[in-house]
Structure 1
Amino acid sequence: MRDFLPPDARRLSELARRLLGSFELFGYELVTLPVFEYESVLERGLGALEPEEVLRFVEPETGEVVALRPDMTPQLARVVATRLAQAAPPIRLSYQGSVLRRRRERARRHRQIFQAGIELIGLDGPSGDLEALDVACSAARAVGLSDFVLDLGHARIAFALLEGVEPSRQRAAVEALHLKDRAELVRAAAAAGLSQRERDALGALSELHGGREVLPEAASVLAGTRAEAGLAELSRVVLEVDRRGLAPAVVVDLGETRNFAYYTGTTFQLHAHGPGVPIASGGRYDGLLGGFGRPLPAFGFAFGLDDLVWALGSDVLTEIPPRLLLTGEASALAPALRAAGLRCAVGPEQDPLAYAKLWRYTHWVSAAAGQAVVTSVPDQVEQRAPLDAASVARALAG
């Protein structure tokens, strides 16, 4: 848990606003969800929750177990299956908020993760995948990120080869694939009882990552295996992403191992310089809504706002709207300035410039000889104007 003070809170708020505004351009409507959720709802969407993964407590009035949400998607599924049960698909929803989950990366990582994302429900196949990918890449650009990589994978490639394998042996193979350890992967595949054809295919996945040029080789390696259909679907998506120019750079990772039990089709991550983790990730999860009684295909993703701030670096929200500190006779202008959309507050009469610097006001407005004196706080450059709100606004614009 942590606090955000100005200006960090403003940065996060503004980033979320821009992301949601970009989502809205594609027809996504905002929903607000409770930070607590019944454990039964979360487990219906995510499976059994490990005791150390979430914070739980008993709701006093009902006696039911509730938890601080580790993910918002099960909540969206609940809403779609109940409150929006009569809504015609496709259903396009966006959200923002925080989730609480255990992070296993570097110690500086926080359990509280601020997110903004979308869920596209009821549009299946490559058309739905491509819409969601377009929304994600457009949102990254909308917040000022021009240099990022779209990393594409598919849950029905590696997992298709491991389907039906005893869980402990499946986990061993997945771990070897995650580490890109081909020798260990081949050994794990043999221990799992896979055929020679499937062993070779699974081993090759550890090295099949790169640009679209890996697709023809993958088609040869996976021909005749259970992974062939997943590769064909991913190939269509990759080629169309490339044709549309959705991202500055696109890579394909056929050994993607993220959350096999959850994702059912195309998966993706957006990477940028800085954070060392994806700034956004998501994918197709066609099996989840059925658990809530309304089986519909779905694709969702979320941006991590902290990681997005880091990726943007010094470019993050450099445009600061005017904030005015008013003193003396200029204080009377506050209502008219606010009516004009300008942010302002009345400041102390003693050492107002120091106060303005401390609280990051852009301008100090005072009065002298019947005129407004508009002082730029960073460089203390003065402008004089008639003592009325319209004239002060013009001085700021000029």
Structure 2
Amino acid sequence: MSDASLNPTATDRWMLPEGIEEVLPPGAWQLESLRRRLLDVYQRWGYQLIVPPLAEFLDSLLTGVGHDLDLKTFKLTDQLSGKMMGIRADMTPQAARIDARQPGNGIRRYCYIGSTLLTRPKGVNGSRAPVQVGCELFGSDALAADAEVVCLMLHSLEACGVPATHLELGHMGVYRALLARTGISEAETVALFEALKRRSIPDVDHLSASLPENERELIRALPRLSGGLDVIGKARALLDHADLTAALDALEQVAQCVQKDFPDVDIHIDLGELRGYTYHTGLTFSAYRSGMGSALAHGGRYDGVGASFGRPRPATGFSLDLRALLPLIQAQATPPLAVLAPAEGGEALEAAIRELRRTRPVIRRMPGDALEDYSDSCDAMLTCKDGVWRPEPFSNRS
């Protein structure tokens, strides 16, 4: 062990783990403003707010969500029960558990906002502590439910001031139906899935070489079925099976619904998009913004997720990382600055401060401080003229 590890410097003690960040002013206020704005939107759409716990027992937290989430989850031992617990890496399974415990089979709409923790970041320079925002609609397998969730996702980005310019739609039912017709082994299925996910056409061609000719050509066509809405017509010419046609119908109808509310959003169809294969069962969707390589928000249908809790229910939803949107917001908006008030000034000053705080922030000076200390946070100063306190431009502001 090195001397440095035995005697860490003060700077070392202040360092945060890689991928773990704190949000400082004014970003923290902007983050809170986005949170409030989104909750107002979800309330107007009829979504009920839930606040799941940060940690749960593993057998509940990871039930039915597959191996991927297991690897992303920090684990610890509960000192009271001795059982293994996990810190949530995704709040969607928690929403599914909450829905499964409610009586009745009616439609339920939930929204949530909270911190999550990942063992590894999602991408290069990504955060391991996303602030996850999401909406889930349980109890309906109708296309109208998918369309509602997609439109609400796009409205969420608009409310944050970063409207999407591109929407990518896919459908896991296409690949699942093709796979069911091949009869290949589990190992072959995994290898083919990984090749398709990487869009490695040579590997896809190699792994599908032993399949029957019709299925082989359909599997090989998937990575190439990507583009505008005309891709749906091209796919219909190739895929004539009933399950495949139903999936294409769903894509077409949801795209039409989105176009009515968001005519300026470019819709991209990608039948080779297999994100969340072990989780999603139907329509998948991601929202993008020009100039950005990663999705701002994404979601999809995941029917039957409550089966592990004894209640399989149709479900669809979306989520986004509010922290990831913050740099885009900070680049566009300047937070409101405060009015600086003197440390003392009598009852007239106190009344002026109370009245002014109804509409904007007011910071009171402390005895002995310097005006320069407030040059970045204030743009006006309360000044008394003819016995009346009024805000005047802050002359010391740089």
5 Å-filtered alignment, 1:5-24, equals 5-24=24-43
1:201 offset after TM fit, Å? Answer: 0.9
Aligned length: 373
Question: Are the equivalent residues in 2 in contact too, given 1:121–1:299 (CA < 8 A)?
Answer: yes
Residue in structure 2 matched with residue 393 of structure 1 by the alignment: none
5 Å-filtered alignment, 1:331-370, equals 332-333=350-351, 336-337=354-355, 340-350=358-368, 352-358=370-376, 360-367=377-384, 370=387
Over the matched positions of the two proteins, sequence identity in percent amounts to 30
- What are the superposed Cα offsets for residues 304-359 of structure 1, whole Å, 9 maximum, x if unpaired? 113323344622x44x445333113175237623762543232124455322224x
Change (3 A) 1:80 1:145: same
1:268 offset after TM fit, Å? Answer: 0.4
TM-score, length basis structure 1: 0.85
Residue 78 of structure 2 is aligned to residue 63 of structure 1? no
1:254 offset after TM fit, Å? Answer: 0.6
Residue in structure 1 matched with residue 142 of structure 2 by the alignment: 125
Question: Are the equivalent residues in 1 in contact too, given 2:134–2:318 (CA < 8 A)?
Answer: yes
SS in 2 for 1:340: coil
Question: Are the equivalent residues in 2 in contact too, given 1:208–1:218 (CA < 8 A)?
Answer: yes
Residue in structure 2 matched with residue 182 of structure 1 by the alignment: 201
Residue 130 of structure 2 is aligned to residue 113 of structure 1? yes
Measured in 2, the distance between the counterparts of 1:114 and 1:64 equals 27
Residue 117 of structure 2 is aligned to residue 78 of structure 1? no
Change (3 A) 1:48 1:213: closer
1:159 offset after TM fit, Å? Answer: 2.8
Question: Are the equivalent residues in 2 in contact too, given 1:337–1:344 (CA < 8 A)?
Answer: no
1:278 offset after TM fit, Å? Answer: 0.7
Measured in 2, the distance between the counterparts of 1:281 and 1:378 equals 47
Residue 66 of structure 2 is aligned to residue 47 of structure 1? yes
1:44 offset after TM fit, Å? Answer: 1.0
Change (3 A) 1:109 1:377: farther
Residue in structure 1 matched with residue 46 of structure 2 by the alignment: 27
Higher mean displacement: 289-298 or 230-239: 230-239
Measured in 2, the distance between the counterparts of 1:134 and 1:263 equals 19
- Unaligned ranges ≥5, structure 1: 382-398
Q: Which amino acid aligns with 1:324?
A: V
Measured in 2, the distance between the counterparts of 1:346 and 1:312 equals 28
1:255 offset after TM fit, Å? Answer: 0.4
Which of structure 1's runs of 4+ aligned residues deviate more than 6 A? none
1:74 offset after TM fit, Å? Answer: 1.3
Residue 157 of structure 2 is aligned to residue 169 of structure 1? no
Change (3 A) 1:112 1:80: same
Higher mean displacement: 277-286 or 181-190: 181-190
| Residue 270 (structure 1) aligned to one of 273, 287, 297 | 287
Residue in structure 1 matched with residue 16 of structure 2 by the alignment: none
Higher mean displacement: 95-104 or 302-311: 302-311
Measured in 2, the distance between the counterparts of 1:34 and 1:214 equals 43
| Residue 255 (structure 1) aligned to one of 269, 272, 287 | 272
1:262 offset after TM fit, Å? Answer: 0.6
Residue 339 of structure 2 is aligned to residue 324 of structure 1? yes
Residue 250 of structure 2 is aligned to residue 233 of structure 1? yes
Question: Are the equivalent residues in 1 in contact too, given 2:378–2:397 (CA < 8 A)?
Answer: no
Residue 210 of structure 2 is aligned to residue 196 of structure 1? no
TM-score, length basis structure 2: 0.85
Measured in 1, the distance between the counterparts of 2:225 and 2:163 equals 27
- Unaligned ranges ≥5, structure 2: 1-19
Residue in structure 1 matched with residue 259 of structure 2 by the alignment: 242
Measured in 2, the distance between the counterparts of 1:114 and 1:334 equals 38
1:53 offset after TM fit, Å? Answer: 2.4
Change (3 A) 1:66 1:275: farther
SS in 1 for 2:178: helix
Question: Are the equivalent residues in 2 in contact too, given 1:158–1:256 (CA < 8 A)?
Answer: no
Question: Are the equivalent residues in 2 in contact too, given 1:45–1:73 (CA < 8 A)?
Answer: no
1:48 offset after TM fit, Å? Answer: 4.1
| Residue 300 (structure 1) aligned to one of 305, 314, 317 | 317
1:93 offset after TM fit, Å? Answer: 0.9
Measured in 2, the distance between the counterparts of 1:289 and 1:68 equals 20
| Residue 3 (structure 1) aligned to one of 12, 19, 22 | 22
